[in-house]
Structure 1
Amino acid sequence: MILPDGYSDVPAGKIAAVVTHLEMTAPPARRDDPPGAWTLRKVDAPALAWYRDLFRRVGEDWLWFSRTRMTDAELAAIIHAPGIEVYALVADGRDEGLLELDFREPGQCELVYFGVTARLIGTGAARFLMNRALELAWSRDLRRVWVHTCTFDHPSAVAFYQRSGFRPFRRQIEIADDPRFDGTLSRDAAKHVPIIE
């Protein structure tokens, strides 16, 4: 369905975001790591409680909710699947960033989830994490690495991905039930997205 020009109503209890898909088809020029004492840790067969906690701490402010609505079996089927790799950015001995790579489609890698906790935004940790993500992705025989972000994410997300070497190739509108209504996320999550009763 093509949305008509002009305004389209979003029903009460729903949220709507503009989603931008970005890709790169060759390794970008390497960017220097910013100064910082971060490390990256691969998490094989992540414990569901650990994953849910880090997913919430990284994504709650940006209305990440899809994985929080999954049952344990649904979540485990994804994050324990062959071709899925999960990493934690470690700062001061604590997991403070999430990187999830999906290599299941031959020749491609999707950055499924990428982000750092609020306390690390603006410190350079995301640049460090992206440098590692691109090294890991392009160490394989790939023709494409891609990611998507939306207007609920950090306002600098699209520009950050473009500086990292991605180029936009598709835009969509996503409409979903507001996860703050059913308790999936706290009513205080993502204050930049108003709740419409």
Structure 2
Amino acid sequence: MTHIAVTTWSLEQTAPTDLLPAATPEGDVRIVRSEVPSPEFNRFLYASVGGDIRWTDRLGWSYARWREYLERPAVETWVAYDRGTPAGYVELEAQDDGVVEIVYFGLIPAFRGRRIGGHLLSYGTARAWDLADRWPGLATTKRVWLHTCSKDGEYAMENYQRRGFQLFDTRVEEEPEVANPGPWPGAHAD
């Protein structure tokens, strides 16, 4: 099995004022919270956004595991729609002591390069900062963090930094090389 070196960068914001919002893209782009836990929909988003950048850690999750995760308090999925079609998503998860992780963020390949990503990241980060407003009993957010890696899209790191995220950790690890799974075999073939 072939292995590749993967660099993972962890970034954070430590105050809501750290957020540097992107401009709203032109056209009919809306961001809506997916309030009903739906393993089918979240798996669709995960596989469609992450297929060409080798997101594989959740592909083996059972329906029950998806459901259990999505029904946890303070786990939220925010979906960007371009003219009514899902274009990408951001997934938030509350952690201990007022920390919120942006667990997943990205766009379906056909929607990249349209200035939707910066807007979605800005909106999702703002929702991470006000997560406690929607979840009674949750600690006020004190820190929002995320990680990206060298397998992610070529503009991911730049987008995070342009939104005000600061690097706090870098790690390099060897991982097995995985073919692009896509939402189905051959989805990203030319």
Q: Percent identity?
A: 28
Please list the CA deviations of residues 147-180 of structure 1 after superposition, one character each: whole Å capped at 9, or x if unmatched: 1000000112111100110011111124444443
The normalised TM-score by structure 2 is 0.83
Q: Which runs of 5+ in 1 are unaligned?
A: 1-11, 192-197
**SS across alignment from 1:51:** helix
Aligned twin of 2:161: 162
Aligned twin of 1:146: 145
**SS across alignment from 1:36:** coil
Please list the CA deviations of residues 106-152 of structure 1 after superposition, one character each: whole Å capped at 9, or x if unmatched: 31111100011111111011111012112212224221111100000
- In 2, Cα distance between equivalents of 1:71 and 1:81: 16
Of Structure 1 and Structure 2, the greater helix share is in 2
1:81 paired to 2:80: no
1:64 paired to 2:55: yes
8 Å contact kept, 2:93–2:100: yes
8 Å contact kept, 2:20–2:162: no
Aligned twin of 1:96: 87
8 Å contact kept, 2:80–2:86: yes
Q: Which runs of 5+ in 2 are unaligned?
A: 133-139
Aligned twin of 1:108: 99
- In 1, Cα distance between equivalents of 2:41 and 2:69: 15
Highest Rg: 1 or 2?
A: 1
> Cα RMSD between the aligned structures?
2.4
| Cα offset, 1:190, TM superposition | 8.1
8 Å contact kept, 1:69–1:184: no
User: Larger deviation: 26-35 or 104-113?
Assistant: 26-35
- In 2, Cα distance between equivalents of 1:186 and 1:175: 26
The normalised TM-score by structure 1 is 0.80
CA separation of 1:14/1:185 partners in 2, compared to 1, >3 Å: closer, same or farther? farther
| Cα offset, 1:46, TM superposition | 2.8
| Cα offset, 1:185, TM superposition | 7.5
Structure 1 counterpart of 2:151, one-letter code: F
1:20 paired to 2:6: no
